[in-house]
Amino acid sequence: MSRLAADDSSAMDVLMEWYEGPVLNAIYWSIGDRHRAEELAQEVFVALYRQRARYKPRAKFKTWLFRIVRNRCMNELRDRAKAQQHIVQLARGRGGFTRAVFGLTGRASRAR
């Protein structure tokens, strides 16, 4: 990580080679969606690169990396819960879910 912080471009390749599998597996285990896990893994490595100057070698690199993984997973799960709650609110709201999704409003929707 110190090589990456010093702008050694090959260091990112090495870190991704070592940690891509464990990061992907940890994310997949947490969220249960392989496709989304791959997207989040990419986001983790982008965040790692962007935050490289902030890394302090007080803790192990792996600890720091998996803190980023944990935070991304928690954000994903929180966002999913909000989306689920929004869908339930739409379904219970006036007009029901079908009207909200298909943009049916007023008398025209009742005539169908």
What pLDDT digit, counting tens, does each position of 53-66 carry? 888 778 788 998 99
In this prediction, residue 104 carries a pLDDT of 58
For the ranges 58-62, 101-105, 108-112, the one whose mean pLDDT is highest: 58-62
| The three-state (H, E, C) secondary structure of the chain, written as one string | CHHHHCCCHHHHHHHHHHHHHHHHHHHHHHHCCHHHHHHHHHHHHHHHHHCHHHCCCCCCHHHHHHHHHHHHHHHHHHHHHHHHHHHHHHHHCCCHHHHHHHCCCHHHHHHC
Expressed as residue numbers, the domain containing 71 is 2-111
pLDDT at site 102 = 60
| Distances in whole angstroms, Cα of residue 12 to Cα of each of 19, 31, 40 | 10, 25, 17
The total number of structural domains that make up the chain: 1
| Domain CATH number, residue 50 | 1.10.1740.10
Q: Is the pLDDT of residue 103 over 70?
A: no
Summarised one tens digit per residue, pLDDT across range 20-32 is 999 999 999 999 9
Are the beta carbons of 4 and 11 closer than 8 angstroms? yes
